Structure 1
Amino acid sequence: MKRGIDLIISFLLLAILWPLFLVLAVWIKLDSSGPVFFRQERMGKDGRPFKIYKFRTMYINAPQLATASFENPEKYITKVGKWLRKSSLDELPQLINVFKGEMSIIGPRPLILKEKKVLSLRHVNGAEAVLPGITGLAQVRGRDLVTDEQKAAYDGEYAANLTLAEDVRICYKTFFDVICSRGIHEGKKK
Structure 2
Amino acid sequence: MLRIFDFLFSLIGLILGFPVLIILFIVGLFDTGSPLFLQKRVGRLQKPFTLVKFRTMRKDTASVASHLASADSITKFGHFLRRTKLDELPQLWNVLKGDMSLVGPRPCLFNQEELIEEREKRGVFKVRPGITGLAQVNDIDMSRPRLLAQTDAKMLKNLTLVNYFKLIIMTVLGKGSGDRVK
Same topology, TM > 0.5: yes
For structure 1, list consecutive stretches of 5 or more residues without a partner in the other structure.
none
1:38 aligned residue:
37
2:85 aligned residue:
88
> Does 2:24 correspond to 1:24?
yes
> Does 2:121 correspond to 1:107?
no
Alignment TM-score, normalising by the size of structure 1: 0.89
8 Å contact kept, 1:108–1:127: yes
**Residue deviations 1:57-96, cap 9 Å, x none?**
11111111112113xx122111111110111100000000
**Matched residues in 2 for 1:42 and 1:32: separation?**
22
**Matched residues in 2 for 1:185 and 1:8: separation?**
26
Q: CA deviation at 1:184?
A: 4.3
| SS of structure 1 residue aligned to 2:17 | helix
For structure 2, list consecutive stretches of 5 or more residues without a partner in the other structure.
none
1:187 aligned residue:
181
Residue 53 to residue 185, structure 1, CA distance change in 2 (3 Å): closer
**Matched residues in 1 for 2:114 and 2:174: separation?**
26
**Matched residues in 2 for 1:146 and 1:170: separation?**
21
Alignment TM-score, normalising by the size of structure 2: 0.93
8 Å contact kept, 2:115–2:142: no
**Residue deviations 1:24-78, cap 9 Å, x none?**
0111111222x221000001111111000000111111111112113xx122111
Q: CA deviation at 1:176?
A: 2.4
2:68 aligned residue:
69
Aligned residues: 182
The RMSD of aligned alpha carbons is 1.7
Runs of 4+ in 1 over 3 A off after TM superposition: 143-146, 182-186
